[in-house]
Structure 1
Amino acid sequence: MDKEEKDMERTDVDKLLSRIVYKAPANSRMEEIGGILARRRAAIRRKETFRHRLMQWSIAAGIVVMSVLGCLVHFSRVDIDSGEREVACVLPDGSEVTVMPNSGLSYNRFTWTLRRRVLLNGEALFSVTHGRRFGVTTPAGRVAVLGTRFRVIQRGEDMLVECYEGAVRVEVAAAKLVVRPGQRVRSDAGGVTLSDIEKPLPPVVSFEAVPLKEVIRSIETIFGVSVSGGEKYGELVFTGYIMTADMDETLEAVFRSCGIPYEVSAGEILLK
């Protein structure tokens, strides 16, 4: 073969080789994919670790906060024991309460701004400032204040609530009702009763030239007795006073001063 033929053959071989495309082995591509998956798994593990640690930190922070709040609530509690005397105190909002003898009252200074509530065991007189609802909790029931002045008397499972101003809502096991000024509600073994507050009698009642029959009627009402024989003294008038807490002194003041003999027997007064 001459030189020219050899050159032509070499040229054909070069052309053939230039058309050949070399491919990387298949396992090299798999390694690349595996590397990508490994990096993704590592990123996922880092995120999961962060979430886990964040959850642990949140739980720890929550425990710390609850512990601090628990300490604040516990050490902010105020307990009042009246013992044998009345104890007057002013609550954080300026409300006034008089704790009667042998009674106890407690409240929490820390939670007061969120919830005005006292725990009462016994008897207390309240004068409440305006603001959020004021609550009194006793072993016998609860009182929600819608007004300003009221009294609560609790003895075991029995409770008496008297309202002087505004209104209060009383909640006991048997009923829920609103008590208005001048009313009282009593809850005991006999049930729940709502009635008007009886106005206390003044210690002394004075009369100025009042017919004796009117005075006799007042004596019967005040002391729950019956007076008979007063018809023959219908023309007499009385000027003076009677003691509403002492019947004997009242009878002396009225009938002895009028010269009327009398006799007392079993709740009945006979004028002679």
Structure 2
Amino acid sequence: MQENYLAKWLNNELTEDELTEFKKSEEYATYQKIVDVTSGSEAPEFDMTKAWDNLQSRRAKETPKVITLSPFKAFLRVAAVIAVLLTGAYFYLNTQDETIRTQLAENREITLPDNSEIVLNAESKLSFNEKNWDSKRAINLEGEAYFKVAKGKKFTVTTTLGTVTVLGTQFNVENRNGFFEVTCYEGLVSVAYNGEEFKLPAGNSAVAINGSLSKSKVEINGQPSWINKESSFKSIPLKYVLAELQRQYNLEVTLEGIDENQLFTGTFSNTNLDLALKSISTPLQINYKFEGNKVLFYEESAP
């Protein structure tokens, strides 16, 4: 049998001779049974419109819902976010303190919003809120500063050891490592220290060393000596004197065989190191060696 007889037979394209020959083949009987069985079967009906509707329905269930806001509602949300950001920025900027620092061997002059003047000594830090100065007249101080307060103006200087409240006056405050001193040159200041509050009129000084408070007299309408490039001390432990020497000259000071708690009274220059070293060593009858930025003080009897 020719290979293409089956296709031609299914399409009724065989000639009589080809059909006669095809019926004699062994395959014909099998093919005829298949045709007889399938001829009575019908293909299921297919509804295109219904199938399309079902597909669209399934897609609607699977696709996330998107809710479109009206332009006005979207605008309100954006406006609310902007308002929150602006409010936060306003409070942040208006609650930030301005901080001023001095390095070793540096002094700096500052003018407050009320025209009061401050001179900040070496290695000190001062902070205040310039934006809210009229409502929050407060200064935080670490180190030493001299204040010339404008007449009729009042503010508070806060340190870790004590608080000073002033009104139209000139005064000096020092706060360093267990050392707290307030000196009033003009007017009147109120000092709060260790749970005690007292008035300090012009010409008086109060110094607290490691919790022990003492008072002394100073020149009325004067100034602290460091304003004039000198550092002066009256019965002050040597360790505080040498600490000031280090600040004014950016030095590293060490002692050998010397009592750092012995009291020192005197003055040294803040501009002439050689003179300053002699001003300290001579009254105490001690020697010193100076090399680079290091100074060693030692007893005269030491080799």
Indicate the TM-score class for this superposition, using the shorter chain for normalisation. Answer: 0.3 to 0.5
Q: TM-score if structure 1 supplies the norm length? A: 0.47
